[in-house]
């Protein structure tokens, strides 16, 4: 099996080419660093060519953690071939990396990408000349339209590419010193496996190659530095760019072009006055479309299909809709077939009620994921980072922190991983710690369910207020963390501002499909398991006596407060009396605790405990959770607690990995639980005070 | 040549004047003549991004709040904070 690495700049189209070469699905994005994990796939039409995708790099001297991954891959795993994808519209910066790859002991094939937009940019490139000057095989492709892909595959599979000639590109005196260093290398050492590359790094005094250091050459390098009036690092970068500039001058001609579309668009999107209002409007439109429009059209309807109803709310209008629902139908048929009530109850109120409470949110989530994917792939996400940097840096964050925050409205796990693009370690750690405060998609069910209990008409305003509250908490936490870290203003923000691109519909839809599917998968695995466990714990006593409903009829008697979970909750519930607005409720307490496993579980658990219909249990006087409707601020504080308390197990695992240890993770959990308890208690105490300090449920 | 420790921004540089890249206004072009920065990793990164002696740069876009700015060099645009451009000595070019 041959290992082939795909290496190139960020935004060069690597992920799209990876998809085109392997036929596999992968996310396509425009902000730097969407390719975080190592992706592999067999090249189409071959049996022994394994393609490995690498994070985008501008050089083999890594600056971010992601770039270290690529360097380690190129140097240490000895791939059989490297496909260097280069963006033909920014040839100089792309070829700078090519000159470094050509120093490795690996063969390199250059894929000259963006062939489809060259003409529109007034650029023409002579690839035969380019190939001759680099000494490498160059193939013109368009990863987006598929042009040249077959030829690239043919060249790879037949091995009909030029062997790496190791061209000498530096000025004579510098090259002589580098050759000298190469001859002196101790070939036994791992670092010397790519001798040409190692020699240049030694010349530059790269700390990664200190093991190879040879003091006798130090004076010679110093003499060259004096002669050029630059340090060695600068001399190398300078001469690489000299070579690249010469190549470009001979192979490439550019026509003067009228103002580009990107510049025209940036006049609007980066306009001094319009940029931030536009950003707020775009995000507002995204949430209105997903949560407001699609959400209100579908969630009640889907819920009715699973759990039955007589009327549903569509677009904030009550519509008559009489269905039995899948759960009640299954439950009834079990009882009719002579099955026991507990089995019917397990299916109807454990399994179906649990899963459906999550599945009702699938349509609005899919729309949310679609909007995010478009913002990302179009290049607008880079602009958001660009114009928010000035605000974020005051709080010890980078403009790039906005990317994890926005991704975090979908799911904290990929969001925490996408924080790797933030270069500065402290900024990155803060971004990771703060991301879970963003209301993720799994918290949406909590928000929507409670917002409609507080006010059926102005529910969306209540949801919006929670987004602002989370923003306030994020900024306040940032200031606290900044003070704890003794952070100084020595961070930086360096990012390419890529040209705007029309997202590829095929890849965008695939990405949305994958994300939506993984949400559904969670609902049917983790959530199903938890729902059954919760059902067990609420329906049985410690001596396994069934205390669930005596029949499936509405109003059937049950003794859920004797169950195992009730006993556990009754102990902890004292702690939450202030947070729940003066209410002693084991049901609300154990449901909030389960948010630790998965946030979707909070609503599922409430509905399992309430015996199926959560809305009725909150709105009909005398029901288990009626206090949420009678004390609306208690409902609000319950939401607040669930939104800001520690994230789910998945996000905690991702955080531990990215923060690199328990100490920081425990710090984050403490911070989050602290915020959640304090802020929810503030609202809770007001609710309690308004109710005349009367304690309900004791 | 400009004093590397003097970090106050100078406005209204005319063609032919010397200064730091961070002093330029939107639309101004300049040639890089030297580059020093105490942060070795940042300097290395900027070298890799193509900020070397003799390269021509143009301030293309400024973020709505005044910082960072987007500079055009070597056929692409680089977004960077003004504070990170202080160590880059330039001479302003004419139109």
Please state the φ and ψ torsions of residue A84, each to the nearest 5 degrees: -100, 105
Confidence at A215, pLDDT banded by 50, 70, 90: low
Closest to A390 (Cβ–Cβ): which among B41, B50, B65?
B65
A172-254 to CATH, choices 2.60.40.10, 3.40.50.720, 3.40.50.300, 1.10.287.1770: 1.10.287.1770
- The pLDDT of residue A117: 83
CB contact under 8 A, A496 and B45: no
From A237, A399, A492, residue closest to B52, measured CB to CB: A237
Q: Closest approach of chain B CAs to the CA of A566, in angstroms?
A: 54
Contact criterion met (CB < 8 Å) for A241 and B63:
no
DSSP A240-285: HHHHHHHHHHHHEEE---SPPHHHHHHHHHT-TTTHHHHHHHHHHH
User: How many angstroms away from the CA of B75 is the closest CA of chain A?
Assistant: 5
Burial of A474 (0-12, 13-18, 19+ CB in 10 A): buried
Give the nearest partner residue to A59 out of B48, B61, B76, using CB atoms.
B48
Q: How far is CA A659 from the centre of its chain?
A: 16
- Please determine, for residue A212, whether its predicted confidence score (pLDDT) is greater than 70: no
Interface of A with B (CB under 8 A): 58-59, 61, 63, 89-93, 96, 230, 233-234, 237-238, 241, 263, 266, 270-273, 275-276, 382, 386-387, 389-391, 393, 399, 489-490, 492-498
B77 chain-A contacts, CB cut-off 8 A? 496-498
pLDDT bucket at A303, cuts 50 / 70 / 90: confident
Q: What is the pLDDT of residue A24?
A: 60
A559 vs B57, more confident: B57
Whether pLDDT at A579 is above 80: yes
Confidence of residue A30 (pLDDT cuts 50, 70, 90): very low
Residues from chain B that touch A275, judged by Cβ atoms under 8 A, are 63-64
State the smallest CA–CA distance between residue B70 and chain A in angstroms: 7
pLDDT attached to residue A404: 87
Out of B64, B76, B80, the one facing A93 most closely (by C-beta) is B76
pLDDT for A37 equals 61
CA atoms within 13 A on the CB side of A530: 30
Cβ contacts from A onto B, under 8 A: 110
pLDDT higher than threshold 80 for residue A137: yes
Alpha-carbon span B89 to B4, nearest angstrom: 8
pTM above 0.90, yes or no: no
pLDDT-derived band at A640 (thresholds 50, 70, 90) equals: very high
Average pLDDT estimate for A605-618: 76
Give me the interface pTM, i.e. the ipTM: 0.92
Among 3.40.630.30, 3.40.50.1970, 3.40.50.300, 1.10.3720.10, name the CATH number for the domain at A2-158: 3.40.50.300
Query: Which chain A residue is nearest to residue B33, measuring alpha carbons?
Result: A230
Query: Is residue A487 over pLDDT 90?
Result: no
Query: Largest Cα–Cα distance of chain B, in whole Å?
Result: 34
- Give the pLDDT score at B31: 96
| pLDDT tens digit sequence for B33-47 | 988 888 888 899 999
Domains located in chain B, CATH noted:
18-92 (2.30.30.90)
Cα separation, A371 vs A178, in Å, equals: 51
Using an 8 Å Cβ cutoff, are A50 and A40 in contact? Answer: yes
Using CB atoms within 10 A of its CB, is residue A558 exposed (0-12), middle (13-18) or buried (19+)? middle
Q: At residue A500, does pLDDT exceed 70?
A: yes
Instruction: Find the CB nearest B48 among A91, A237, A489.
Output: A237
Structure confidence by residue, pLDDT tens digits, A160-178: 999 999 989 999 999 999 9
Q: What is the mean pLDDT of chain A?
A: 85
pLDDT tens per residue, range A675-689? 999 999 999 999 999
Residue B49 has pLDDT above 90, yes or no: yes
d(CA A335, CA A254): 78
Within a 10 A sphere around the Cβ of B18, how many other Cβ atoms?
Answer: 16
A-chain residues within 8 Å CB-CB of B27?
none
Residues of chain B with Cβ-Cβ distance to A273 below 8 Å are 64
Q: How far apart are CA B44 and CA B63, in angstroms?
A: 25
Among B60, B61, B68, beta carbon nearest to A389: B68
Minimal-distance CA residue of chain A relative to B52: A238
Of A562 and A115, the one with more pLDDT: A562
Sorting pLDDT into bands at 50, 70 and 90, what band is A31? Answer: very low
Per-residue pLDDT band at A58 (split at 50, 70, 90): very high
Measured between CA atoms, how close is A270 to chain B, in angstroms? 6
pLDDT digits (tens, 9 = 90+) for A548-558: 888 777 666 77
Domain residue ranges of chain A, discontinuous segments joined by +: 2-158, 172-254, 280-349+357-507, 525-690
Per CATH, A2-158 and A172-254 having the same topology is answered no
Q: Is the pLDDT of residue A116 over 60?
A: yes
B50 contacts on A by Cβ (under 8 Å): 92-93, 96, 241
Best mean pLDDT range from A116-125, A517-526, B2-11: A116-125
In this prediction, residue A612 carries a pLDDT of: 63
Q: How large is the average pLDDT for residues B51-66?
A: 93
């Amino acid at each position: 099996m041959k290992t082939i690495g795909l290496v190139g700049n960020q935004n060069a189209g690597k992920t799209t080419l990876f998809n085109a070469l392997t036929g596999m699905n992968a996310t396509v994005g425009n902000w730097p660093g969407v390719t975080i994990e190592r992706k592999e796939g067999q090249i189409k039409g071959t049996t022994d060519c394994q393609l490995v995708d690498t994070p985008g790099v501008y050089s083999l001297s890594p600056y971010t953690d992601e770039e270290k991954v690529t360097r380690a891959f190129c140097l240490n795993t000895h791939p059989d071939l490297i496909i260097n994808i280069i963006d033909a519209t920014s040839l100089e910066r792309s070829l700078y990396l090519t000159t470094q790859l050509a120093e490795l002991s690996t063969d390199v094939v250059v894929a000259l990408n963006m062939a489809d937009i060259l003409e529109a940019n007034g650029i023409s490139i002579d690839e035969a000349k380019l190939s001759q000057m680099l000494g490498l095989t160059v193939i013109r492709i368009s990863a987006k339209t598929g042009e040249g892909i077959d030829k690239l595959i043919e060249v790879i599979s037949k091995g009909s590419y030029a062997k790496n000639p190791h061209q000498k590109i530096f000025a004579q005196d510098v090259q002589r010193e580098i050759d000298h260093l190469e001859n002196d290398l101790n070939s036994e050492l791992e670092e010397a496996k790519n001798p040409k590359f190692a020699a240049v790094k030694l010349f530059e005094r790269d700390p990664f190659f200190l093991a190879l250091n040879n003091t006798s050459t130090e004076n010679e390098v110093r003499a060259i530095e004096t002669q050029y009036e630059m340090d060695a690092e600068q001399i190398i970068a300078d001469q690489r760019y000299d070579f690249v500039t010469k190549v470009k001058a001979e192979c490439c001609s550019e026509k003067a072009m009228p103002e580009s579309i990107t510049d025209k668009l940036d006049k609007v999107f980066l306009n001094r006055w319009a940029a931030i209002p536009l950003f707020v409007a775009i995000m507002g439109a995204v949430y209105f479309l997903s949560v407001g429009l699609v959400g209100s059209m579908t969630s009640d309807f889907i819920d009715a299909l699973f759990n039955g109803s007589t009327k549903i709310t569509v677009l904030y209008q009550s519509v008559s809709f009489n269905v039995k629902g899948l759960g009640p139908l299954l439950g009834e048929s079990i009882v009719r077939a002579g099955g026991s009530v507990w089995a019917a109850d397990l299916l109807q109120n454990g399994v179906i009620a649990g899963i459906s409470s999550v599945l009702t949110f699938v349509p609005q989530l899919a729309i949310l994921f679609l909007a995010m994917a478009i913002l990302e792939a179009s290049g607008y996400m880079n602009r958001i980072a660009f114009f928010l940097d000035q605000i974020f840096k005051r709080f010890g964050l980078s403009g790039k922190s906005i990317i994890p925050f926005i991704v975090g409205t979908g799911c904290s796990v990929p969001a925490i991983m996408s924080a790797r693009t933030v270069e500065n370690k402290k900024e990155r750690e803060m971004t990771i710690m703060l991301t879970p405060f963003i209301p993720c998609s799994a918290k949406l069910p909590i928000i929507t369910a409670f917002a409609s209990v507080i006010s059926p008409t102005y529910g969306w305003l209540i949801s919006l207020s929670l987004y602002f509250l989370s923003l306030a908490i994020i900024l306040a936490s940032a200031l606290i963390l900044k003070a704890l870290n003794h952070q100084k203003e020595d961070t930086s923000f360096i990012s390419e501002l890529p040209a705007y691109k029309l997202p590829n519909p095929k890849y965008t839809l695939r990405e949305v499909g994958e994300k939506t599917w993984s949400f559904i998968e969670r609902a049917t695995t983790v959530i199903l398991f938890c729902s059954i466990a919760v059902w067990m714990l609420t329906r049985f006593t410690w001596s396994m006596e069934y205390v669930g409903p005596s029949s499936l009829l509405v109003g059937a008697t049950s003794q859920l407060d004797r169950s195992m979970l009730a006993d556990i909750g009754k102990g902890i519930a004292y702690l939450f009396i202030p947070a729940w607005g003066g209410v002693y409720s084991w049901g609300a307490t154990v449901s909030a605790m389960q948010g630790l496993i998965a946030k979707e579980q909070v609503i599922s658990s409430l509905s399992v405990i309430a015996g199926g219909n959560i809305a009725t249990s909150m709105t009909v006087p005398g029901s288990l959770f009626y206090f949420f409707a009678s004390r609306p601020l208690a409902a609000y504080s319950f939401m607040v607690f669930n939104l800001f308390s520690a994230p789910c197990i998945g996000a905690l695992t991702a955080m531990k990995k990215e923060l690199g240890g328990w100490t920081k993770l425990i710090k984050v959990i403490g911070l989050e639980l602290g915020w959640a308890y304090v802020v929810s208690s503030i609202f809770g105490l007001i609710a309690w005070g308004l109710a005349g300090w009367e304690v309900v449920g004791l | 040549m400009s004093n590397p420790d003097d970090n106050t921004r100078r406005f209204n540089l005319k063609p032919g004047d010397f200064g730091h890249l961070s002093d330029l206004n939107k639309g101004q072009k300049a040639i890089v003549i030297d580059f020093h920065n105490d942060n070795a990793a940042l300097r290395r990164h900027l070298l890799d991004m193509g900020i070397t002696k003799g390269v021509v740069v143009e301030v293309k876009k400024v973020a709505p709040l005044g910082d960072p700015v987007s500079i055009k060099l070597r056929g692409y645009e680089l977004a960077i904070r003004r504070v990170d451009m202080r160590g880059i000595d330039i001479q302003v070019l004419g139109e």
